[in-house]
Amino acid sequence: MKRFRRTAFFIVFGIAGLNALLCQQVFEVNLNDRSGDTFKVTLYPKQLSASNNVFQFASTAPGTYQVMDIGRFVHDFKAFGNSGNEVPTEHISTNQWTISRPTDVRKITYTVEDMWDAKVDKNRVYSMASTTISDDFVMINGQGVFGYFNGMQSEPIKIKLDYPSEWKLGTALEKGLDGYYEAENFDKVVDSPFYLGKLTTATTEVGGAKIGVYLYSRTGLITADDMLASLKAILKAESDFTKGLPVDRYVFLFYFGNFDAGAWEHSYSSEYVMKEDTLKPSFVAKINSVVAHEFFHINTPLNIHSELIERFNFVKPVTSKHLWLYEGTTEWAANMLQLRASLIPLDQYLRVLQSELSANDGYNQNLSLTDLGVHSTEMQDEYPNIYQKGAFVSTLLDIRLLERSHGKKGLRELLIELSKKFGKERSFSEEEFFNQLGAMTYPEIGDFFDRYIKGSEKLPVKEYFGQLGIDYQEKTDVDSNRTSMGIILRPAGNMLGVKAVYEDSKSGLMKGDIIMKIDTTVLTFQNAGMLFGRFAAMKPGNTVRMTVKRKDKEVEVACVLTPRVTRHKFTVNPNASPEQLQLREVWMKNM
């Protein structure tokens, strides 16, 4: 009789129902039915308690530093009991549904919009961190499709994806013998995106880690084998820089379509949404630069992170003051490891530094890196500077450490030491980390943190690079044959706005102005290159008339063009001293 009852139970509930007995949450997503560009999700929970009465979708996700509010894209959320009867639910907030009788629930169904196509007025989700579903490609970021019950964020999850037999699937999650992908908790689901569809694949091994490439190319212009061949040098450089890779496996997920969006890092994978092109040297260099950054995140924050990262709050964004480390230092490493592996020459690396400082000119100079980290989600206009100023400050920190240790220990060596001290299972204290770094290095490093990371003092660029025998000039080379308005532009919706105005500008423009017309022509992204390109034929002193929107009023401005000024110029000193040459040599190599 007992055997019969178990068999009957299996027939009623199927494989998913049986899995639910063994696992807290079992999700199934039907990707064979892609109608309406929506994900059709079925959830089979284990027996719920009264405290599990709220189902939560994410408000944000690690490494995005933006408000996502996934609940905006969820529809038809329904709960069902043992006999198929519907259990009442209520949508109580953007990302939360309450369930009236959670102990009765045996199944939940809902649909989620394709976020690439979804129409939202604000807080549009970054394309590489969202979802899409089409005839030959599907991208699933965990927080964009799945959720969890109150009190069950740390419980294990299984996922079954039903999709066309001719498709391939790439993810860092492991598949069990029952065909379900397994994750120890919701955080791991979010940390492990899926790419599915008409993918090409390739594998290799680097630094003791198994590397997999899963790639979608809209017209088949790029294959995974081609991509892997172009990545091998940068992957070796990463391994050499970190003295071996701190992971045993890693998955690269590439989407090459008709637009550029960016990339998103994860513990054992990273994903890229880029415009399709041939693998010409300039395109490969661009990809390598992005890959170098995202791949380095296996160190920060996978192995070096505070408790805020380890226990992520998906209900309410809680940001870290150490964003300078997670993103700024990672960007520094992405460029420095290419220099030290001879993948880029010194003059090219110095141009990267020049571009970082030039970009920094357009941001709030009174905002510290720690304040930028804490307020990153609400300061989206300022947030990108973490990749500019944050990276450059890490460059200065590296020089300071090398100078103070007489060339024996730089930022690279400190990061390796931190990885060993902490690691994946041990976080550092959000509040005590600066003190810990000071204790691991020198008292003077604490002063560096106070002035340039916790504070916003003017960066000592000339002083620090002078120690390497590299000269720096903040403003030089006035070119009287070329013109400039002396401003920095930024996107402002569908228009262009003024992000910063240099002190030598005679444009009459102000920070915050939105440029509407040049002469009588309406300015758009499509014609901006042509309209601004006209300035090349003009001379300093010529005037260009503009119409700008300034504090909700249209203002006519006569912009006087000035000679173009080269800013933030680095030059290798051919007469550097032996001491400068020695420190520069150490700075340019792995120890």
Residues 50 and 184 in one domain: yes
Considering the domain architecture, whether residues 380 and 433 belong to the same structural domain is answered as: yes
396-450 pLDDT, tens digit each: 999 999 999 999 999 999 999 999 999 888 999 999 999 999 999 999 999 999 9
Residue 286 lies in a domain: no
Residue at which a domain ends, from 229, 248, 281? 281
Backbone dihedral angles phi then psi of residue 110, each to the nearest 5 degrees: -165, 165
**Residue at 236 is within a domain:** yes
User: How does pLDDT run across 557-566, given as a tens digit for each residue?
Assistant: 999 888 888 8
Same domain, 11 and 104: yes
Q: Is residue 288 part of a domain?
A: no
10 falls in which pLDDT band (50, 70, 90)?
very low
| CB neighbour list of residue 431: distance below 8 Å, 6 or more residues apart | none
pLDDT in tens, 132-184: 999 999 999 999 999 999 999 999 999 999 999 999 999 999 999 999 999 99
Amino acid letter at 87?
V
Pairing of strands 514-518, 54-56: unpaired
Q: What is the pLDDT of residue 23?
A: 55
- Nearest Cα to 160, choosing from 136, 177, 143, 179? 179
Same domain for 34 and 108, yes or no, is yes
Is 176 found in the same domain as 240?
Answer: no
Same-domain check for residues 369 and 401: yes
Cβ-count burial 41-71 (b if 16+ within 10 Å, e if not): bbbbbbebeeebbbbbbbbbbbbbbbbbbbb
Asked whether the predicted pLDDT for residue 351 surpasses 60, the reply is yes
Q: How far apart are CA 496 and CA 222, in angstroms?
A: 33
What pLDDT, in 10s, does the model give residues 187-205? 999 999 999 999 999 999 9
Residue 39 covered by a domain: yes
pLDDT digits (tens, 9 = 90+) for 221-267: 999 999 999 999 999 999 999 999 889 999 999 999 999 999 999 99
491 Rama class: left (phi>0) / alpha (psi -120 to 50) / beta: beta
Residue at 61 is within a domain: yes
Last residue of some domain: 281, 308, 329? 281
Short-list 365, 359, 423, CA closest to 391? 359
In a domain? residue 84: yes
Which of 61, 33, 35, 6 has its CA nearest to residue 313?
A: 61
Residue 249, domain member (yes or no): yes
For the CA atoms of 398, 404, 410, 411, the dihedral, rounded to the nearest 10 degrees, stands at: -50
Q: Provide the domain count of the chain.
A: 4
Q: SS3 string of 1-15? A: CHHHHHHHHHHHHHH
Q: Are residues 7 and 104 in the same domain?
A: yes
Q: Please state which of the ranges 287-301, 379-393, 517-531 shows the lowest mean pLDDT.
A: 517-531
Domain containing residue 266: 199-281
Of 133, 138, 105, which is closest to residue 25 (Cα–Cα)? 105
Is the link from the previous residue into 301 a cis peptide, with omega within 30 of 0?
Answer: yes
pLDDT: which is higher, 21 or 380: 380
Give the gyration radius of the chain's Cα atoms. Answer: 27
d(C-alpha 473, C-alpha 567), whole Å: 7
CATH code, 458: 1.10.390.10
Are 364 and 485 in a shared domain? Answer: no
Q: What's the CATH number where 544 sits?
A: 2.30.42.10
Alpha helices (H) along 429-574: 433-440, 443-448, 461-466, 528-533
Q: Are 516 and 547 in contact (CB under 8 A)?
A: yes
Last residue of a domain, one of 170, 196, 222: 196
Exposed, middle or buried: residue 532 (CB in 10 Å: 0-12, 13-18, 19+)? Answer: middle
In the beta sheet, which residues pair with residue 546? 518, 557
CATH of the domain at 224: 3.30.2010
Per DSSP, the three-state class of 253 is strand
At 358, which helix (H) or strand (E)?
helix 346-360
**Can you give the CATH number for the domain in which 79 is found?**
2.60.40.3650
- Joined together, the tokens standing for residue 134 give 């089409």
457 and 480, same structural domain?
no
Q: Is residue 500 part of a domain?
A: yes
Asked if 222 and 177 sit in the same domain, the reply is no
Considering the domain architecture, whether residues 391 and 368 belong to the same structural domain is answered as yes
Q: 400 with 494, same domain?
A: no
